[in-house]
Structure formats: structure tokens, C-alpha cells
Structure 1
Amino acid sequence: MSTKNTLNGTNVFESTLGGLTVRGKAHGLSAWFVLALRLVIGFAFLYSGAEKVLNGFAAGGYLTNVAAANGNPLEAMFAWMAASPWFVEFVNVAVPYGEVAIGLGLMAGLLTRLAAFFGALMMLLFYFGNWDMAHGFINSDFMYMLVFLSVAAFGAGRILGLDAYVEGYEIGGQPLLERYPRLGYLLG
């Protein structure tokens, strides 16, 4: 996959994947909408995680009952998760505190791509956990996953976020991202 940035006064983006190239020209307001996506999904996760931390959270019942009741293709995996006490305890901590960390990262625009990756992964697991084909394969979990992936793809942490400052931080006169380009997978 390749991505080409064209900076000739227009907001043009292009990407090639599997021999297919797509091009687009974004409207000037696109940055505001990308920022809004980052802040809204960040707030939603921060709120959801904080509510679980403050009010308690137990995943055992969900893991035990959800997959067996809905024809889930990952039923065996969810059954294993529910039958493994150490995994249930891990999920009891990882979900609420993970949601808080993802929400804070997105709200601040810090380590945005890392936060969005884990948010998308969490939504993928929720997608299979909440499996329901009554209205097709697209549901709110799937849509939230796409929002996280969009936030990551557009480098939303560079729009009024701390990632822009971290990426520009200089070490030995060289910007951090230039010196360590792989950080671009975490920041942005």
C-alpha cells in the first residue's frame, strides 16, 4: 500500500492497495470533522470506561452467555474466555481501564494511532460478542470500529492534539518523527 501526499495548495489524497488506486480531494472543513470524530469517540470511551471503573464491571456473565445465544462464529473462543478465570479477571480490568486510556489518548490527541488501534480492536471483539445478523452484518460496533480506523488513518492527533507537538520535538536538532520514523505508527 502506498500513500501520496500532494501539497500544492489543495487537500488531495491518494492511495493504492492491491493495484487499485483511489484519489480524493477533501473539503477544507474536513479537518474539523476529523477532529470532531476523534473528540466524540474519545469522550464516549472515556465516559464508558469511567462509569465501569466507578460502578464496577464484571465480564464473566457476558462472556458466558452472549456467544452461545446468538450463533456467533467465535462461540468456542468466547466459551474458552468465559471458562478461564484468569482471562475473565484480565478482561475485568482491561476493558474499563482500557476504555479510559483510549478515551484520554483520543481526547488529548496523544498516541492517537495507538489508542485508535486498541479502540478498533476492542470494537472488533464487541462486534463478535454482540453478533446479530438480524439487520445485516453492519451494526454500531462495526461503525465504531470504522470511526477508530478513520481517526488513525487521518492522523487526527495532529489536529489540535499533543501528537503534533511530540512529533516536532527535537533531539539533537532533528524532529522526533524524523529521527524515529516508526513512531508514526503510534503518533498522529
Structure 2
Amino acid sequence: MTTNEIQHTNEFESTIGGYTVRGKAHSLSAWFVLALRLMMGGAFFYAGWSKIVAAEPFSATGYLTNAVPAASPLADLFAWMGSTAWFAEVLAVAVPWGELLIGLALITGVLTRFAAFWGAFMMLMFYFSNWDVGHGLINGDFAYMLVFLAVAAFGAGRILGLDAYIEQYDLGGETLIERYPSLGYLLG
């Protein structure tokens, strides 16, 4: 079975590097995937919105230059980011607006895979900037990164989301996703 075939059962499989895994999801799985999408969408929307409307303009400079643990594998990168004026200015816009737009995309189910990728990237950066392995390598930032990746992998935007309609948009007898299959990396 190829990944382009629609499955009407709750069975799935994937092969990576010669290893195949198979699974059968519970009939309630779609609801849980939807809940994960909406949870992360709401959390990111709120995080971005609260930074945008805050009394003081958002800045990551102080955090990046003073709060990132020296033990972080990316400590030098974060110090550079916080001490490089133009990059700090980019972050002052990219972080709050990125959070807000990722959240909005997940809530509405539009460009879900694209938004989930960037959400996972942000969580990966938060993971390294909040580096603390005192209780192991897995923390909340890492777990949220995996939630974003699950949202993308399961095509959560097709579950009560606008991606389902966007993909099926008729372009003269052919759906948008049939004409442009690479949009499957952004939608779904």
C-alpha cells in the first residue's frame, strides 16, 4: 500500500531504513488527534497573542544572553542570537507572530503540516535553550515537539479542519492535491 492511498480502516504502517512498523488505531483516535491539534493550537495562539499585546514589547535578548544554561549544546548559538542586534530584532517579531500564526493554523486546520513543522522546530529550540537533563533527556519541550510531529504525521488538519476542503478543491475535474501532490507536505 502506498502512502497516497486512502485507508478506510484504522490500520497503518510505515517503513524507514528497512524497518516496518504496523499499528491499528482505536476508533476514537481521530478525536484524540483532533484534541492534540486544538490543544497545541490554543497554547501557541495564546502564547503569541500574550506577547503581541503585552505592555512591553517582546524581546528574547535577555533570556538568550543570560538564562540559557551553559551546559546546553547550543549555548554559544543562543548567546550569538541574543547579542546580534539584527537577529534579536528578527526574533522579537518571529517568535510572537510565529506562535500566533502556528496556533491559528492549527486551530483552523489550515496548512497544518507546515504549521506543525514550525511548531516542532520552535519546541526543539526551546528544548535546547531550556536545557536541563537533571531528570533525563525528556522534558515538556521535547514532549510537545513530538506532539507537533504527531499532529503532522496523522494529517490532523483533515479532521474537522479546513485542509480537508482545501485538498479537495476542484480544479476542472482534478482536486488540488491531485494536481499538486507536494502540497501534501503542507496540508493535512
TM-score relative to the length of structure 1: 0.95
As a proportion of its length, which structure holds more helix?
A: 1
> Distance between the aligned counterparts of 2:165 and 2:34, measured in 1?
16
Q: What pairs with 1:1-188 in structure 2 (closer than 5 Å)?
A: 3=3, 7=7, 10-55=9-54, 56-67=57-68, 69-188=69-188
> Distance between the aligned counterparts of 1:164 and 1:158, measured in 2?
4
Tell me how far 1:83 sits from its aligned partner. 1.6
> Distance between the aligned counterparts of 1:15 and 1:70, measured in 2?
39
Instruction: State whether residues 38 and 106 of structure 1, in contact with CA within 8 Å, keep that contact through their aligned partners in structure 2.
Output: yes
The one-character-per-residue Cα deviations of 1:97-154 (angstroms, maximum 9, x if unpaired) are 0000000000000000000000000000000000001111100000110000000000
Instruction: State whether residues 12 and 25 of structure 1, in contact with CA within 8 Å, keep that contact through their aligned partners in structure 2.
Output: yes
The one-letter code sitting in structure 2 at the alignment partner of 1:94 is A
Partner secondary structure for residue 164 of structure 1: helix
> Distance between the aligned counterparts of 1:100 and 1:6, measured in 2?
32
Q: Once the two structures are aligned, what percentage of the paired residues are identical?
A: 64
> Distance between the aligned counterparts of 2:23 and 2:135, measured in 1?
31
Tell me how far 1:79 sits from its aligned partner. 1.5
Instruction: State whether residues 6 and 13 of structure 1, in contact with CA within 8 Å, keep that contact through their aligned partners in structure 2.
Output: no
> Distance between the aligned counterparts of 2:52 and 2:131, measured in 1?
25
The one-character-per-residue Cα deviations of 1:146-179 (angstroms, maximum 9, x if unpaired) are 0000000000000000000000001121000000
Which runs of 5 or more structure 2 residues have no equivalent in the other structure? none
As a proportion of its length, which structure holds more strand?
A: 1
Tell me how far 1:66 sits from its aligned partner. 2.4
Tell me how far 1:76 sits from its aligned partner. 1.3
> Distance between the aligned counterparts of 1:117 and 1:109, measured in 2?
14
